[in-house]
């Protein structure tokens, strides 16, 4: 999977500045990949921040449950959004981005629970 992202990310420095403003109507697949990769990068950064923010509020047992849930979610994302074939492997960035945003929303919900009514450990290992 890293190889595909390296290709996508290597397009970033050489993409024209106008590509950023044209993300609502990409001219071709390469512009679409550029735009979607930027959205996915931000979603991934948000997910990492949300995970860290939630983890800091948890005791060790709850952190372990959260980690197990996050690893299960990563496997689920990979199964749903990528595939390996003889010619190479493929990552569906739209799928990965959608799942990443949904996972971040789940982590944000758990964080809100923690600061309002207390952390519900049973909900930390969910991979959905």
126 pLDDT above the threshold of 70: no
Alpha-carbon span 90 to 81, nearest angstrom: 8
Least confidently predicted of 12-16, 39-43, 69-73:
12-16
- Where does residue 90 fall: left (phi above 0), alpha (psi -120 to 50 degrees), or beta otherwise? beta
CATH number of this structure's domain 2-12+31-123: 1.20.1270
Mean pLDDT (the chain) is 83
3 pLDDT above the threshold of 70: no
Alpha-carbon span 111 to 119, nearest angstrom: 8
- pLDDT greater at residue 70 or residue 30: 70
DSSP per residue, 49-71 = HHHHHHHTTS-HHHHHHHHHHHH
Nearest one of 128, 122, 6 to 65, comparing CA atoms = 122
């Amino acid at each position: 999977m890293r190889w595909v992202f390296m290709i996508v990310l290597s397009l970033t420095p050489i993409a024209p500045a106008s590509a950023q403003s044209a993300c609502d109507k990409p001219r071709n697949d390469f512009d679409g990949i550029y735009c979607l990769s930027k959205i996915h990068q931000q979603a991934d950064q948000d997910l990492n921040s949300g995970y860290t923010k939630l983890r800091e509020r948890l005791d060790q047992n709850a952190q372990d449950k959260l980690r197990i849930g996050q690893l299960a979610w990563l496997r689920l994302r990979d199964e749903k959004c990528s595939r390996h074939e003889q010619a190479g492997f493929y990552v569906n960035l739209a799928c990965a981005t959608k799942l990443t945003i949904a996972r971040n929303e789940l982590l944000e919900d758990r964080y809100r629970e923690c600061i309002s009514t207390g952390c519900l450990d049973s909900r930390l290992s969910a991979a959905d």
